[in-house]
Amino acid sequence: MLALLSVSDKRGLVPFAQGLVRLGYRLLSTGGTLEALKAAGIPATQVSEHTQSPEILGGRVKTLHPRIHGGILGRPDLESDRAEMAKNHIEPISLVVVNLYPFRQTVASGAGEDDVIENIDIGGPAMVRASAKNFKHVAIVVDPDDYAPVLAEIEGQKGVGLETRRRLMRKAFAHTAAYDASISGWLAGEAQEPFPQELSLAFQKVQGLRYGENPHQRGAFYKEYAAPKEPSVAFAKVLQGKELSYNNILDLDAALGLVLEFPERPCAVVIKHNTPCGVAVDDVLEKAYRTARAVDEVSAFGGIVAFNREVDEAVARAMAETFLEAVIAPSYSAEALQVLAGKKNLRLLEAGPALASPTVKPRPQVDARSVSGGMLLMDRDAVEPPLEWKVVSKRAPTPEEERALRFAWKVCKHVKSNAIVFAAPSQLLAQGGGQTNRVDSVRIAMTRGGEALKGSAVASDAFFPFRDGLDEAARAGATAVIQPGGSVRDPEVIAAADEHGMAMVVTGVRHFRH
């Protein structure tokens, strides 16, 4: 029996090869894999010796040979194949162990174009695909995690069973598809082409989920192959707590996205059902959290919290006062972890020091959303630079009102449309969103905010189609308003602001969030 081993990821290679030799396999190998086997005293034949053809073009061509691909693709149950193989001195290869050049790692290292291109594997994918196509006769192993079960099956059943070969075949084609998707994605990025004519996506499974949004829906969590430079839920380290749920992950991502809007000062965000119910900044993180929680303590119960500074003991003790589902932060002090250890079900995620940077800026990204039979892609509604707002009312905002307007505008982007946000210079006061008309969103926020809205600033994610929403905001006590503008009734709405003595600025930028 002949096995071909050629791997970039050498985890578990030596004990697996030793087991194959013990079970009667003869080994073929190439390059660094061959060196590793020989260093471990494992007998193996170099591919060029087997093919009687030298490696050429600096190693670019070594396994692309009839004695390799004929050995992999030959069908021993066909007399014609057996005759051709015998005529051409081609020996069947029944086990192929291949994983591919480290293309993704090379990209992540910041290597130049020449190095990246050189790490596009050609012979490896050809062998993997050939082996997978001929799975009825060949077992293809692309994942070191499969070494032990494959070895055990060979030992117990004197070979790899058909159902295992089917499973390995599916995994192999997924492996090469993801590899090619990574290459096409990098090429599109290099060409600054975020929306290519043909789209291939490559993700790897983080975990299966107990269920999706509801218990009757199945779910799983996937992440990109390369960790982004900015904080990410997918690459955060889980320190404690129950297994993350589908809804936890969505809410953690929403909380992280919002806390990234306020890098300059310590910030706390409370999210419930993908909607902000508390946001505050303060020079002291504990105060920021207590202020954010106080915005809507009923909704904060069972909420998701994000911080942009390390969680210390004081913050941990404040959090321990309320039932929370999950927390994401740059890091946690030893004292904080000791306090929160008593909350065994509380999920704690550590996103890393980049989240605590006062200059952290998310990279441009593309948001994807599935629809029946297709997918929608768009640029992410990213953090904006300071905007040159246009004052359209008779009165310009005061410095304090302007700070409140800027705070409200950042939060408004993270509330479902039609979004209305009332804010002070350093905290959310109330929000209303997810309604089919804007005036209802204002009224919901008024009900939540009450007297706290006196002297507030109000933000609207899109223009006011009628003056009624603005009239209600003024009745709630708002003294300044920010909105995109662009309605045919802008003059009517601006006149309403002047009637109420409100300062109004327009941005020319809309923040719909469906």
- SS3 labels along 391-406: ECCCCCCCHHHHHHHH
Q: Which of 277, 218, 221 is nearest to 444 (CA)?
A: 277
DSSP strand pairing (139-141 vs 204-209)? unpaired
Q: Which of 10, 171, 273, 343 is catalytic?
A: 273
Amino acid at site 198: E
**Residue written as tokens 């209305």?**
420
User: Active site includes 69?
Assistant: no
- Cβ atoms of 34 and 44 within 8 Å: the answer is yes
CA angle, residues 491, 494, 500, in degrees to nearest 5: 140
CA distance 267 to 258: 10
How many Cα atoms occupy the beta-carbon half-sphere of 449 within 13 Å?
31
User: Active site includes 414?
Assistant: no
- DSSP class of 325: E
Could you give phi then psi for residue 205, rounded to 5 degrees? -75, 125
Question: b/e per residue, 81-93, with b = 16+ CB within 10 A?
Answer: beeebeeeebbbb
Could you give phi then psi for residue 219, rounded to 5 degrees? -155, 155
In what side-by-side order are the strands of the sheet with 139-141? 45-46, 26-29, 2-6, 95-98, 139-141
**DSSP string over 77-118:** T-HHHHHHHHHTT-----EEEE----HHHHHHTT--HHHHHH
Cβ-in-10-Å burial (0-12, 13-18, 19+) of 488 comes to exposed
CA distance 123 to 118: 12
**Residue written as tokens 């006590």?**
477
CA distance 11 to 26: 20
Amino acid at site 403: R
Could you give phi then psi for residue 428, rounded to 5 degrees? -70, 140
Could you give phi then psi for residue 200, rounded to 5 degrees? -125, 135
With left for phi above 0 and alpha for psi between -120 and 50, is residue 420 left, alpha or beta?
A: beta
Q: Which of 10, 133, 223, 343 is catalytic?
A: 133
Q: Which of 192, 108, 189, 194 is nearest to 366 (CA)?
A: 194
- Residues annotated catalytic, as ranges: 133, 273
